[in-house]
Amino acid sequence: WRVPARGDMRFGVYIGLPEHCKDSSERIAWLEGGTHIERWSINCPGGLFGHEIEVLGLAATVIDALARVERLDGTTQVVRVVPSDPVFTVTESESLSEVIATYTMLGVEHILLGIDHLLFVFALLLLVPGRRMLIWTITSFTLAHSVSLAAATLGWVRVPQAPVEAVIALSILFVAMEIVHWKQGRPGITRRWP
C-alpha cells in the first residue's frame, strides 16, 4: 500500500478490505522518496473474487488511486479508483483491453492536465521543422514518457520525485533557450536533431 507523503505526514487514505479478510502478519511501514509504504499479509477465506475493496478517505479528496490485484496464476486486475466511486470489485479475470483502457485514460489525462507536458510539446511545435519531423519527435516523446511512467508504476525504477521535477523544469528551460537561439540565427542541437 503506497500513499504520497510529505515528511512524516502521509495522505489520509487507507485500504478497506472485506469483513472476512483478516491481517495474518504485522504491518511494516516505512517512508521512501516521498511515499509512505506499508506491507502486510492478509488471509481471506474463500478468496477475494466478487468482493469489494474500498479506498477509505478517497471520497474526501481530489486524487485517484490505482489498484492492482495480482492473482496467483500471474494475471492482474488494474483498476482506477476515483473519489466519486472509491470502491471496486475484484474480478476473476480482466481482459488486456481493459488494462490498456485504464492506462491509456490515465496517460491522456496526465499529459493534458500537466502544464509541464503542454509547455514542452508547445515548445516542440515552435522548434521542430516540418510536419513529419514534428510527428516523429512528439511520438518519440510520448513513447519515452510512457516507458518511463510504466517502469516507475511497475516498480522497475525508483527515482526521488524532487530531482525528476527539477529535470522536467530544466528540460522546458533548455527547449525554450533553443527557441531563443534559433530565433537569433543560431540553431541548436534540438532544432537539428529533435
First-to-last alpha carbon distance for the chain, in angstroms, is: 39
What is the distance between the alpha carbons of residues 66 and 153, in angstroms, rounded to a whole number?
10
CB 21 within 8 A of CB 42: yes
Rounded to whole angstroms, how far apart are CA atoms 107 and 125? Answer: 20
Residues of the chain predicted below pLDDT 50: none
pLDDT digit string, tens, across residues 99-108: 677 777 777 7
In one letter, which amino acid is 130? G
What is the model's pLDDT at position 51? 95
pLDDT confidence of residue 59: 92
pLDDT given at position 169: 86
Kindly report the CA angle at 4 between 66 and 75, in degrees rounded to 5? 25
- pTM higher than 0.75: no
Contacts of 191 (CB under 8 A, 6+ apart): 127, 128, 129, 178, 182
As a whole number of angstroms, the distance between CA 89 and CA 53 comes to 6
CB atoms inside a 10 Å sphere around CB 90: 19
Instruction: Find, among 174, 146, 149, 144, the residue nearest to 159 by Cα.
Output: 149
